[in-house]
C-alpha cells in the first residue's frame, strides 16, 4: 500500500518557479558524497530500520506490474521520470531533491519538480532509503497533484534496488512505499558477494563490458542474479541496473537502454543536473551557460 500523501506544498515565488540554471556536467557543490559523513545511529532506531527493511523486502515484486504499458515491447510507455538528490557543499544535511519528467520515447523534457530538503535522519550505510525516500515520495505526490496527466509510469532512481546486501536499496524502498514501478541505476557497484568489488568485477569481465550494449549479470553468493552491469555509452564504463519494484530485470534493462544518450540515463541525468543547478542558484554562483530554451523547473517551498 502506498504511503499517505505528504501535506500539500505550495510553489515558491514566481521568480523561483521558472526556468532553472543551465545543464552543466561539472560537479556541483556537495553531491552524493555528502551522504558518506557518518552519523551515530541509536541501536533502537537501527533495529527498527532493520525490521522495516525486511518487511519491505518481502513486498518487492520483481515481475512486471506496469500501469498501461507492456514491458516486453515498451508499448504504451509515455512518461518516465528520474529522481536524484544533490547536497550543498560541506553539508550532509542540506540538499535539493529533484524529479525530472520526460516524454517517452523521445526523451523530451517536460518538467522538473525540485524541493529544498533537510535530511534529519542519520546516515547509515545500507539504510539510505530511510534518509532520502520521504523526499522522493513528496516529489512524486507533487507530480501526481500538479501534473495528473503526466504521472510517471516508471521512475529511475540514482541508487540500488535489490542489488543491495539486504535486497532492499533506496530504489526498492521508494517503490514499495510509493507503490510504483522503480528501477535502480547506480554508477558504482555495491558489493553483494564476498570478495567481489567493483574493481575485481570489472577486471574479471572487462572483455564482456567493453562496448556500448555489452552487459553482464551480477550474482550474489548464492548464484542469484540481482542486477545487470550495462554499458550504455562509448565511455566503456557500465552502470549497475537493478529491480526496484513492480518490474522485471529484463524490462528494467530495456528501459535504461531506451532512456540513455550518455552513461547515466536521461531521466536521472537531468534530475541530477537540475538539482545541482538549484544548489548553485541557492549559493548565488554564476552560471556559465544560458538555460536551455523552454526548460521548466518548478521549485517548491516546504511551507504549506
CATH hierarchy code of domain 33-300 = 3.30.2170.10
Name which of 172-176, 191-195, 224-228 the model is least confident about.
191-195
Contacts of 52 (CB under 8 A, 6+ apart): 130
Residue 74 has pLDDT above 90, yes or no: yes
Of the chain, the end-to-end C-alpha distance in Å amounts to 25
pLDDT of residue 85: 95
Residue 14 has pLDDT above 70, yes or no: no
Percentage of the chain with pLDDT > 70? 83
Residue 300, C-alpha cell as written in the block: 517548491
Bridge partner list, 103: 79
Residue 132, C-alpha cell as written in the block: 532520502
C-alpha–C-alpha distance, residues 263 and 218, integer Å: 18
Q: Are 239 and 185 in contact (CB under 8 A)?
A: yes
Residue 128 has pLDDT above 50, yes or no: yes
User: Which secondary-structure segment (H or E) carries 216?
Assistant: strand 215-219
Q: How confident is the model at residue 22 (pLDDT cuts 50, 70, 90)?
A: very low
DSSP letter assigned to residue 4:
P
What's the whole-number mean pLDDT along residues 170-188? 97
Check residues 304 and 92 and name the one with the higher pLDDT.
Answer: 92
Give the chain's mean pLDDT.
84
Neighbours of 104 (CB within 10 A): 22
- How many alpha carbons lie under 13 Å from residue 185 in its C-beta half-sphere? 33
Domains of the chain by residue range: 33-300
Q: How confident is the model at residue 89 (pLDDT cuts 50, 70, 90)?
A: confident
Rg (CA), the chain: 18
C-alpha–C-alpha distance, residues 49 and 34, integer Å: 21
- How many alpha carbons lie under 13 Å from residue 218 in its C-beta half-sphere? 35
Angle between helices 170-178 and 129-146 (to 10 degrees): 40
Percentage of the chain with pLDDT > 90? 62
Q: How confident is the model at residue 16 (pLDDT cuts 50, 70, 90)?
A: very low
Q: What is the pLDDT of residues 203-250, one digit of tens each?
A: 888 888 888 999 999 999 889 999 999 998 887 899 999 999 999 999
What's the whole-number mean pLDDT along residues 59-83? 97
pLDDT of residue 59: 98
Angle between helices 129-146 and 43-57 (to 10 degrees): 50
pTM for the full model?
Answer: 0.84
Q: What is the pLDDT of residues 246-268, one digit of tens each?
A: 999 999 999 999 999 999 999 99
Residue 291 has pLDDT above 80, yes or no: no
Cα distances from 15 to residues 297, 299, 300, 304, in angstroms, run: 11, 10, 12, 18
Contacts of 51 (CB under 8 A, 6+ apart): none
What's the whole-number mean pLDDT along residues 280-290? 61
C-alpha–C-alpha distance, residues 259 and 262, integer Å: 9
Amino acid at each position: 500500500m502506498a504511503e499517505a500523501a505528504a501535506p500539500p506544498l505550495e510553489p515558491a515565488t514566481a521568480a523561483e518557479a521558472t526556468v532553472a540554471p543551465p545543464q552543466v556536467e561539472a560537479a556541483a557543490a556537495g553531491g552524493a558524497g555528502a551522504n558518506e559523513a557518518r552519523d551515530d545511529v541509536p541501536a533502537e532506531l537501527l533495529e527498527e530500520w532493520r525490521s522495516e527493511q525486511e518487511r519491505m523486502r518481502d513486498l518487492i515484486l520483481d515481475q512486471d506490474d506496469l500501469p498501461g504499458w507492456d514491458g516486453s515491447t515498451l508499448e504504451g510507455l509515455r512518461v518516465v521520470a528520474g529522481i536524484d538528490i544533490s547536497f550543498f557543499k560541506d553539508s550532509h544535511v542540506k540538499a535539493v531533491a529533484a524529479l525530472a519528467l520526460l516524454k517517452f520515447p523521445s526523451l523530451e523534457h517536460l518538467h522538473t519538480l525540485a524541493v529544498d530538503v533537510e535530511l534529519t535522519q542519520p546516515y547509515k550505510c545500507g539504510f539510505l532509503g530511510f534518509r532520502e525516500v520521504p523526499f522522493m515520495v513528496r516529489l512524486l505526490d507533487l507530480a501526481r497533484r500538479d501534473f495528473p496527466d503526466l504521472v510517471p509510469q516508471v521512475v529511475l532512481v540514482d541508487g540500488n534496488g535489490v542489488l543491495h546486501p539486504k535486497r532492499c536499496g533506496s530504489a526498492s524502498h521508494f517503490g514499495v512505499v510509493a507503490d510504483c514501478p522503480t528501477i535502480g541505476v547506480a554508477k558504482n557497484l555495491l558489493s553483494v558477494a564476498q570478495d567481489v568489488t567493483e574493481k575485481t568485477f570489472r577486471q574479471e569481465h572487462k572483455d564482456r563490458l567493453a562496448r556500448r550494449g555489452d552487459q553482464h549479470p551480477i550474482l550474489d553468493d548464492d548464484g542469484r542474479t540481482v542486477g545487470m552491469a550495462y554499458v550504455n555509452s562509448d565511455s566503456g564504463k557500465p552502470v549497475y541496473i537493478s529491480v526496484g519494484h513492480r518490474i522485471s530485470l529484463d524490462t528494467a534493462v530495456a528501459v535504461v537502454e531506451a532512456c540513455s544518450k550518455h552513461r547515466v540515463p536521461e531521466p536521472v541525468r537531468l534530475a541530477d543536473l537540475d538539482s545541482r543547478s538549484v544548489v548553485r542558484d541557492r549559493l548565488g554562483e554564476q552560471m556559465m551557460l544560458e538555460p536551455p530554451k523552454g526548460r521548466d523547473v518548478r521549485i517548491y517551498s516546504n511551507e504549506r
